[in-house]
Amino acid sequence: MKQVNNRFLMALLVLASFGGYIISCSHDNEIPPPPASSAPVITRGTNIHLPGNLTPGNSNEWKMDKVHSSCLWSTAYVGAAGLLTGRFDIFGAYDITPAKFGNYPYTDLNRPSQPFPDSSWAFYENEPEKSYLNGYVLINTSNTGEPGRDGTFTYVGCNLAAMGTTQKVAYQHNINVTNVAQIKTSKIEFDKTSADYIVTIKLTWQGKLAAPITKEIIGRLKYVPKATIAAASPYDVFGLQLKFQLNCRDFGVTSTSIADKIDVECNMNFNNK
């Protein structure tokens, strides 16, 4: 009787092993589920923003809102833990050619008018190869909030002296080779890891050199999508934020008070009023 029971148990074990083999083999040709992906889901619209002729009241033409825009810079203060920061008071989106160099008067000392129309740009949200941006700053309008560094209409501060620019003149924009730094985008493309754009920039500036030079740098452009402002007369707005870094030593700036690298952030707001 014991021998019969042993044979019965052996038979059950053989059947169980064979059944498990069949079950395991039946899944050999099934495709496994795809691995989890950490890639972001990027959604882009089809907005197109162009300056046109900058006609007031034309809602199809976009104007840079200079009052609510800014061009900021920051760098490490060598030998200390803090940053030196500032802004350029006069900046814009225009391609200044040498033929445009000269002195441009303005009438309001507290709110200087733009020397040129902010018309040298275009933005295509879903076709970055069509987008471009040309911009400038007037170096002698660098403003740290400290007169000892910035200078006045009668005094050149250490900040301006270090950058090799000219003294400020009341009621006059100095558009000349020693006072203008310009950027021109040569390529704008999608950032594959975010909704931003990667921008190749040609930066031209003389600094403390004998003549201007052009350096290619890479920046990042963020688009703040179009939105409607619910005012008495509603209008639309959008924003562009450009960030890049330059090495001031490339342009002959040898001040021992600032680090090599200067971070620049251009916050540009536009409306169609």
pLDDT tens-place string over residues 124-135:
999 999 999 999
How confident is the model at residue 182, as a pLDDT? 98
Instruction: Provide, rounded to the nearest whole percent, the portion of the chain with pLDDT above 70.
Output: 86
Instruction: Provide, rounded to the nearest whole percent, the portion of the chain with pLDDT above 90.
Output: 72
Domain that holds residue 225: 48-271
Radius of gyration of the chain (CA): 31
- Please tell me the least confidently modeled range out of 156-160, 182-186, 196-200: 156-160
**Could you tell me if residue 144 is inside a domain?**
yes
How confident is the model at residue 52, as a pLDDT? 97
What does the pLDDT look like over 210-249, one tens digit per residue? 999 999 999 999 999 999 999 999 999 999 999 999 999 9
**Could you tell me if residue 101 is inside a domain?**
yes
The whole-model pTM stands at 0.83
Where residue 209 falls (left for φ over 0; alpha for ψ -120 to 50; beta otherwise) is: beta
How confident is the model at residue 146, as a pLDDT? 87
How confident is residue 26, by pLDDT bands cut at 50, 70 and 90? very low
The DSSP code for 113 is: P
The DSSP code for 12 is: H
**Could you tell me if residue 263 is inside a domain?**
yes
| Mean pLDDT, range 185-196, rounded to an integer | 97
**Could you tell me if residue 10 is inside a domain?**
no
Residue that is written with structure tokens 């900046």 in the block: 91
How confident is the model at residue 142, as a pLDDT? 94
The per-residue b/e assignment along 38-73, b for 16 or more CB within 10 angstroms, e otherwise, is eeeeeeeeeeebebeeeeeeeeebbbbebeebebeb
Q: The tokens of 224 are what?
A: 């703040």
How confident is the model at residue 34, as a pLDDT? 58
Output 32 or 194, whichever has higher pLDDT: 194
- pLDDT at position 22 over 80: no
CATH number of the domain that residue 185 is part of: 2.40.128.110
**Could you tell me if residue 205 is inside a domain?**
yes
**Could you tell me if residue 25 is inside a domain?**
no
What does the pLDDT look like over 137-154, one tens digit per residue? 999 999 999 888 887 877
Q: Cβ of 36: how many Cβ atoms within 10 Å?
A: 5
What does the pLDDT look like over 34-93, one tens digit per residue? 555 566 788 899 999 999 999 999 999 999 999 999 999 999 998 787 899 999 999 999
| Mean pLDDT, range 141-170, rounded to an integer | 86
Number of domains in the chain: 1
**Could you tell me if residue 5 is inside a domain?**
no
**Residue 22, class by beta-carbon neighbours within 10 Å (0-12 exposed, 13-18 middle, 19+ buried)?**
exposed
Measured between alpha carbons, how far is 70 from 131 in angstroms, rounded to an integer? Answer: 21
How confident is residue 7, by pLDDT bands cut at 50, 70 and 90? low
179 three-class SS: coil
How confident is the model at residue 169, as a pLDDT? 92
- pLDDT at position 21 over 50: no
Q: 218: which strand partners?
A: 200
| Mean pLDDT, range 173-178, rounded to an integer | 96
- pLDDT at position 29 over 60: no
**Could you tell me if residue 16 is inside a domain?**
no
How confident is the model at residue 30, as a pLDDT? 54
pLDDT averaged over the chain?
A: 88
